[in-house]
Amino acid sequence: MSVLTWIEQRTGLVSQTTDFLTEDVPGGASYWYVFGSATIFAMILQIITGIFLTFYYAPSTASAWESTSYIYHNVPFGQFVISLHFWGATAMIALLLMHLLQVLLWGAYKAPREIMWVIGVLLLVITLVLGLTGYLLPWDMNAYFASQVAINIASSVPIVGNATQQFLSGGPGIGTLTINRFYGLHVWLMPAALVLLTVGHLTIFRHNGSAGPPVDHDLKRLPQGRFWPNQMFMDAAASFAVFAIIVLLAIFSPAPFDVKADPTKQFIAYPAWYFLALYGLLRVAGQTPQAIQPIANLLATVVIPGAFVTLLILLPFIDRNPSRQLSRRPWILGLTALSLVFAIGLTLYSQLAVQKEQAEASEGGAPAAAAAASNTLGGKTSAGASSTVGTGGGGSQVATTGGTGTGKGEQIFTQNCASCHQANGQGQPGVFPNLAGNKDVVASDPKGIIHTLNYGLAGKVIDGKTYAAQMPAWKGNLSNDDIAAVITYIRSSWGNKASAVTTAQVAASTK
């Protein structure tokens, strides 16, 4: 008696699996049918990588960024795993949208598959909620400010807005309770709902059978293909292609990770690409005349997105046209095309607007600290984030304090250095060196530290320890005067008692 027979007799699992895989594919197997299974593959990838991230991630304001940073810099393959999760989210949403579009075009939502369609739209909504809640968890600058925008949108709803906003944040503002809530949603509630509804989606799929090509005659009269192994092979090939792309992106374009959220800093938040269309709608509303702006905002944030989702859910009940043939469904085709044009147009519009604002801001110097520090983390700025460091803003702030050399140095340190080395100079073990008592900082000859400030540092052993992060080069981003002031500051703070450094000494340092 074989092992399989033994198992079969006790569980029935073998025959149930065979039964599940034995399925007609009307018209034969096709690469057109891979979007649903590829979405499920992406979902499984998200669940697996997500589980491994929870072995390190800890939700609270004191640990969210710190534990994410630990995953990035200390955990072996940590950056790879978190980047798989990052790109997996993008893949899952992209595949879901393709799947939805195909079902829409092929009329596969029509009777008897209305409930399957409704569940599918709910799965899309849940996946978007997962994207939104996951965005906050790293607790870096963009996580903080993008979530601030999302929560404020919720608060703009009339009557229930304030309660909704507080319910989402767990309090009057975004804080440690918000992280906990988003964590609970992202890690427990939404994945559980996602898996349960997916099981329902698949059960109904098996009940109704494959929808087949968009034709109006009886599908049973088409030649039938086999689900296993013919369609499964195509599903596997598509999933493999998706996986290969995600892996390559994770290796060559790791997930962005910025400095820790700092509500006192100015920062231009940018949403994930799948929310850019909604963000664009909000921007359009912001440009309407003052008088109608409250109404326009309400339309942009609640009414239009809400109506769109409601319409999607109700689609099989509104569209009673029994035909699935494209040529007989001009209205649906026209509306789909129109929605696509609007969505893509709004996405491009807000992408360009965000890029422009970020470029302007970095020229003005306002979010300089954030942009500069994000470079510090191995140069992993996201595509949209600005990467230049402005000096204008810093300079003007220094001028207003008008303090002594040390006062100015402290200002520059707070703005440019403290996000990594911390305000107390302690840094972070294994990532950012401690400056207090650091031999290189307090050396009687300051040439070394001047060189480090001017030209950066990477991979050097400091005081017997190695550090994961790179020190960026500041020459050109800070003036010689500023560099001298900040070196003087770090050489005379936190118990350090080394000599001051002059502008001339900084200028004399060469690569």
Partner 1 sequence: MAVHEAQAYKDDGTPEEQSRRTFLANATLAVGGVIGLVLTVPLVVSLIPESLLSPDKSAGGSWADLPKDALKQIAAKPGTPVNIQFSFQYADGYFPPATDGQSVWGVKLSPEQVTNFKAKRPDLFGNPADEVKYPALDATLGFVLFSPICPHLGCRFAWNAEADRFICPCHGSQFGLEGDKLAGPAPRGLDPLPFRDKDGQAQVTWIQYKSGEPDRVIVAYS
Name the site residues for partner 1 (rule: CB under 8 A): 18-20, 22-25, 45, 48-49, 52, 55-56, 58, 62-63, 66-67, 69-70, 74-78, 80-81, 206, 220, 224-226, 228-230, 232-233, 236-237, 239-240, 243, 247, 422, 426, 428-429
165 vs 428, beta carbon nearer partner 1: 428
356 vs 465, beta carbon nearer partner 1: 465
Look at phi and psi of residue 53 and say left if phi exceeds 0, alpha if psi is from -120 to 50, else beta.
alpha
54 vs 323, beta carbon nearer partner 1: 54
Query: 225: part of which helix (H) or strand (E)?
Result: strand 224-226
305 burial level (CB within 10 Å; 0-12, 13-18, 19+): middle
Across 458-484, b (16+ Cβ under 10 Å) vs e yields eeeebeeeebbbbbbbbbebbbbbbbb
294 vs 429, beta carbon nearer partner 1: 429
The label of the residue with tokens 């595949």 reads 95
22 vs 404, beta carbon nearer partner 1: 22
Min. distance of Cβ 1 from partner 1 in angstroms? 22
75 vs 303, beta carbon nearer partner 1: 75
Min. distance of Cβ 422 from partner 1 in angstroms? 7
Please give the distance of CA 280 from its chain centroid, rounded to a whole number: 18
Min. distance of Cβ 71 from partner 1 in angstroms? 8
Contact 428, 373 (CB under 8 A): no
Q: What is the C-alpha to C-alpha distance for residues 355 and 453, in angstroms, rounded to an integer?
A: 29
Q: Are strands 224-226 and 24-26 parallel, antiparallel or unpaired?
A: antiparallel
Which residues make Cβ contacts (< 8 Å) with residue 501, sequence separation at least 6?
446, 449, 450, 484, 487, 488, 491
Min. distance of Cβ 437 from partner 1 in angstroms? 11
Q: What is the C-alpha to C-alpha distance for residues 340 and 256, in angstroms, rounded to an integer?
A: 28
Which residues make Cβ contacts (< 8 Å) with residue 294, sequence separation at least 6?
none
Min. distance of Cβ 69 from partner 1 in angstroms? 7
Q: What is the C-alpha to C-alpha distance for residues 413 and 407, in angstroms, rounded to an integer?
A: 10
122 vs 377, beta carbon nearer partner 1: 377
Min. distance of Cβ 432 from partner 1 in angstroms? 10
Q: In the numeric block, which tokens belong to residue 35?
A: 């979007």
Min. distance of Cβ 224 from partner 1 in angstroms? 4
Strand partners for 471: 457
Min. distance of Cβ 226 from partner 1 in angstroms? 5
First to last CA, the chain: 76
Q: What is the C-alpha to C-alpha distance for residues 180 and 166, in angstroms, rounded to an integer?
A: 13
The label of the residue with tokens 């709004």 reads 346
53 vs 486, beta carbon nearer partner 1: 53
Min. distance of Cβ 102 from partner 1 in angstroms? 22
Q: Which of 420, 391, 347 is nearest to 483 (CA)?
A: 391
Q: Per this entry, what is the length of the chain?
A: 511
Min. distance of Cβ 42 from partner 1 in angstroms? 12
Query: 397: part of which helix (H) or strand (E)?
Result: helix 392-401
139 vs 274, beta carbon nearer partner 1: 139
70 vs 87, beta carbon nearer partner 1: 70
Q: What is the C-alpha to C-alpha distance for residues 182 and 144, in angstroms, rounded to an integer?
A: 12
